[in-house]
Structure 1
Amino acid sequence: MGHGGSHSLGIPSGKGPHLVGCIDIMTDHTIQGSFLRLYYPCVHREKHQQPLWIPRHEYYNGLADFLKYSRTITDYILKHLYGSYSVPVEWDAPFKSDGKYPLVIFSHGLGAFRTVYSAICIEIASRGFVVAAVEHRDRSASATYYFEEKTRTNSEGEQLSIPTISTLTLDQLEEKWLYYKPYKRGEKEFPFRNHQVHQRGEECTRALNLLTNINKGIMVQNVFPLDFDFSKMKDCLDLCKVAIMGHSFGGATVLDSLSKELRFSCGVALDAWMFPLEDDIHTRIQKPILFINSEKFQWLTNILKIKQLDSTTIQRKMITIMGTVHQSFPDFTFLTGHFIGRMFGLKGTIDPHIAIDISNKASLAFMQRHLGLQQDFDQWDALIDGKGEHIIPGTNIPLPPSNSQSTQ
């Protein structure tokens, strides 16, 4: 079981009953707007394409900056390794209007961007959710972009008035790229990261507001020219059933969002990085949370901060998937061969398909329980308690005696 030899490289497609469609939405082209990738149950179209996994070469430059390697070399290597992969979804496929779908907002980790967790997002969408993977603009993404209006001048060189957004076309807009910003040595890291996590929380709320408007049938001005008919989504989201998920810095974002935005009913934090959060964050969250940890990432102070969220009245659960590393959650683990994967910490000792499957099933069972879904995800309830192959309840980190009760 422990070896990934049985699968060829590629992002796994969803196992649920729904075919998954995908679009990108950028509304309000400015840096204040929302930028996200939407995964949703779709209607099959005969002629369809799959989007590239890394949509623009600028993301390679951003990854190079994040990894502190030369852009030229990294661009070449990454393009060679990952450039040909596409995502197993139907791009711009029609939305399947069929009852009401619960909603998940997904927040990426440090150095990532909106497409990097597609395996998780696709699986959850295939089970009958709409999933919005936010691309954060707090400079924690490898790269991201927005648009500025080109200043237009007449023949005398006077500036002309800018048309309203509804009449702006892409050729009147100029792309602006934002790359990963490392914090400077000697600078205090906490204020820097804390500021970022608050912006990330706001961006998750903004994504929820955008989807609320779409659900009301309010017209969306999407910067990207797509065929997608947003009116098909009207009244198709169950906005009483909204969860938030995220990995690493995205796990911190889950907690920040749950502390501020009451419309999120529960959270799933994958290998949460607790450092960016205030010490009293546990006093401000009244929602159920599932922490899913990898075996190799966690350390004592991080775990103790998670354990402050223990509660006798609100369900807080922590499980650890053995054989996993921090990078067992993003897609790189499925797209990298064994040797390079182990060398760069992109693969653990467990087959990545088994690991992500455990994580997804535990997440689905937890969301069913706390969003009140009428599905069969409760068949995986045991995973929430850390019962099963490759998982343990609580943490593998040795705790001081007073804290050794696992998060049950």
Structure 2
Amino acid sequence: MGGTQSLALPPGKGPHQVGCADVMVGHTRQGLFLRLFYPCLPRAGAERPLWIPRYEYYRGLADFTRRSRLWCAPLFSIAIGSCKVPVSWNGPFKPCSSGYPLIIFSHGLGAFRTLYSSVCSELASWGFAVAALEHRDHSASATYFCRAEAGREEWIPYQRVPQGQKEFYFRNEQVHQRAEECVRALRLFEDISSGKSVLNVLHQDFDLSELKDSVDLTKVAVMGHSFGGVTAVLALVKEPSFRCAVALDAWMFPLENALYPKVPKPVLFINTEKFQTPESIAKMKRLSSRNSQTKIITILGSVHQSQTDFTFLTGKLINRFLGLRGTLDPYKGLDITSRAALAFLQRHLSTAWRGGHVGRGLGRARELPHLQGAAGQPLLPWAWVWCFPSRCTKQRGLVAAPPLCLEPG
């Protein structure tokens, strides 16, 4: 397959059309930068945003992958530069009197706000407002903020662990900054909901005041991938308003041991088959042993990048460099991930949702049923997931997904 083939990202499958807008507040590093995915009204001829919005991000990806900017950035641009996200750019917000639940999403190491557009738009299509952060702790491949002077941008590059410094202490400092940025994102939505005027320094067409009275701040979750997964766990410690967390293939290394007993809310760990280590799983089990609602599942046939947009790249060129796919079809992988996350979120954000945002289309999926194992024996009580489609076809209105295995305990 040629290197000019582009990325085809899947649209959300839920009942809502999805819009997105970029939001930047503040003129310093202490501000925030995020991409907001939200249910929107239909609009004829809606513009679709580029997946990689600026050439500087290609340079950042080259730096992160330890390849030359000189040839790698143009290669990325040729291979995926034409890819667009199947959402309505600055699309008209769809009001909701009962309020959409809110998810704060944290990206992984070397990623940025647009690289999880598939999962974010899928969740938004089921009636969530999803704020995908771009962290400013030097863990993004690239990011920037706008100085108060008109037109002046300051870019924040990806930074590796400084020579002579232990990685844990460097990453631990970063994960605390990231979690605090998640909390600040929540504060931003609280300001908007209270009617406070919030200036989007990017001066885009999307009016943030339209979110007032349409986001339910009693139903807020935090979610993330890899470094963002452990960020989500830590955010539960820092902010009591976060009611639960979904951690996609969480990189548990940067979290200090003393904080594990302090995680107060349930976490859904959705792991891939090829990334986690016994030590990392043991850390997750420390949380599940303290909270019976914390669950750990593993998606067979998946790799670490299966939970990012990169898994949908066509052709062999980019995959040859980055190893972005496992044996599981990426569309099936996204379906498993989103269905597990939606069921968990619906369970822990509310028992009875007004307006039927998430419930519509998911049947009676208030919780996942206990299923049977290979020999027809009931699985243990921790088996709160879909298992094998050859043995489980359909129960309680929810179709069984492709293979999952669950880490007990």
> One fold, TM greater than 0.5?
yes
Alignment-derived partner of residue 25 in structure 1: 23
Alignment-derived partner of residue 8 in structure 2: 10
1:183-262 residue pairs with structure 2 within 5 A? 183-262=161-240
Alignment-derived partner of residue 105 in structure 1: 104
- Preserved contact between residue 286 and residue 314 of structure 1 (Cα < 8 Å): no
Name which of structure 1's ranges 220-229 and 133-142 shifts more when overlaid on structure 2.
220-229
Shift of 1:30: 1.4
Alignment-derived partner of residue 310 in structure 2: 332
Give me the whole-angstrom Cα distance separating, in 1, the residues matched to 2:61 and 2:7: 20
Shift of 1:115: 0.3
Alignment-derived partner of residue 68 in structure 1: 66
Give me the whole-angstrom Cα distance separating, in 1, the residues matched to 2:162 and 2:58: 22
Task: Establish whether residue 180 from structure 1 lines up as the match of residue 162 from structure 2.
Answer: no
- CA gap of 1:313–1:293, structure 2 versus 1, over 3 A, is closer
- CA gap of 1:288–1:354, structure 2 versus 1, over 3 A, is same
Residues 284-339 of structure 1 deviation map (CA, whole Å, 9 limit, x = unaligned): 11101100000000111111111111235541100100000000011011124256
Shift of 1:97: 0.5
1:82-121 residue pairs with structure 2 within 5 A? 82-99=80-97, 100-121=99-120
| Aligned partner of 2:261 among 242, 267, 283 | 283
Shift of 1:216: 1.8
Give me the whole-angstrom Cα distance separating, in 2, the residues matched to 1:27 and 1:280: 33
Alignment-derived partner of residue 56 in structure 1: 54
- Preserved contact between residue 180 and residue 238 of structure 2 (Cα < 8 Å): no
TM-score with structure 1 length normalisation?
Answer: 0.87
Give me the whole-angstrom Cα distance separating, in 2, the residues matched to 1:183 and 1:293: 25
- Preserved contact between residue 297 and residue 326 of structure 1 (Cα < 8 Å): yes
- CA gap of 1:122–1:384, structure 2 versus 1, over 3 A, is farther
Give me the whole-angstrom Cα distance separating, in 2, the residues matched to 1:313 and 1:84: 45
Query: Which residue type is aligned with residue 311 of structure 2?
Result: T
Give me the whole-angstrom Cα distance separating, in 2, the residues matched to 1:40 and 1:310: 31
Alignment-derived partner of residue 392 in structure 1: 404
Shift of 1:226: 1.7
Tell me the percent identity. Answer: 53
Query: Which residue type is aligned with residue 33 of structure 2?
Result: F
Give me the whole-angstrom Cα distance separating, in 1, the residues matched to 2:12 and 2:77: 25
Query: Which residue type is aligned with residue 371 of structure 1?
Result: L
List alignment gaps of at least 5 residues for structure 2.
Answer: 1-5, 370-382, 390-401
Give me the whole-angstrom Cα distance separating, in 2, the residues matched to 1:317 and 1:47: 42
Shift of 1:19: 0.5
Alignment-derived partner of residue 363 in structure 1: 341
Alignment-derived partner of residue 157 in structure 1: none
Shift of 1:384: 4.1
Name which of structure 1's ranges 295-304 and 331-340 shifts more when overlaid on structure 2.
331-340
Query: Which residue type is aligned with residue 214 of structure 1?
Result: I
SS at match of 1:218: coil
SS at match of 2:221: strand
Alignment-derived partner of residue 392 in structure 2: none
Name which of structure 1's ranges 38-47 and 293-302 shifts more when overlaid on structure 2.
38-47
1:146-165 residue pairs with structure 2 within 5 A? 146-150=145-149
Shift of 1:371: 0.5
Shift of 1:149: 3.3
- Preserved contact between residue 317 and residue 385 of structure 1 (Cα < 8 Å): no
Residues 370-395 of structure 1 deviation map (CA, whole Å, 9 limit, x = unaligned): 01153434527248435344433434
- CA gap of 1:135–1:105, structure 2 versus 1, over 3 A, is same
SS at match of 1:65: helix
TM-score with structure 2 length normalisation?
Answer: 0.87
Alignment-derived partner of residue 326 in structure 2: 348
SS at match of 1:280: helix
1:241-320 residue pairs with structure 2 within 5 A? 241-311=219-289, 313-320=291-298
Give me the whole-angstrom Cα distance separating, in 2, the residues matched to 1:233 and 1:310: 35
Task: Establish whether residue 322 from structure 1 lines up as the match of residue 300 from structure 2.
Answer: yes
- CA gap of 1:309–1:17, structure 2 versus 1, over 3 A, is same
- C-alpha RMSD of matched pairs (Å): 1.7
Give me the whole-angstrom Cα distance separating, in 2, the residues matched to 1:191 and 1:222: 34
List alignment gaps of at least 5 residues for structure 1.
Answer: 1-7, 151-171, 396-405
- Preserved contact between residue 217 and residue 233 of structure 1 (Cα < 8 Å): no
Alignment-derived partner of residue 44 in structure 1: 42
Give me the whole-angstrom Cα distance separating, in 2, the residues matched to 1:339 and 1:179: 26
Give me the whole-angstrom Cα distance separating, in 2, the residues matched to 1:140 and 1:312: 30
Give me the whole-angstrom Cα distance separating, in 1, the residues matched to 2:48 and 2:278: 42
Alignment-derived partner of residue 132 in structure 1: 131
Give me the whole-angstrom Cα distance separating, in 2, the residues matched to 1:111 and 1:384: 32
Query: Which residue type is aligned with residue 136 of structure 1?
Result: H
SS at match of 1:240: strand
- Preserved contact between residue 138 and residue 196 of structure 1 (Cα < 8 Å): yes
Shift of 1:233: 1.4
Runs of 4 or more off by more than 6 Å in structure 1?
none
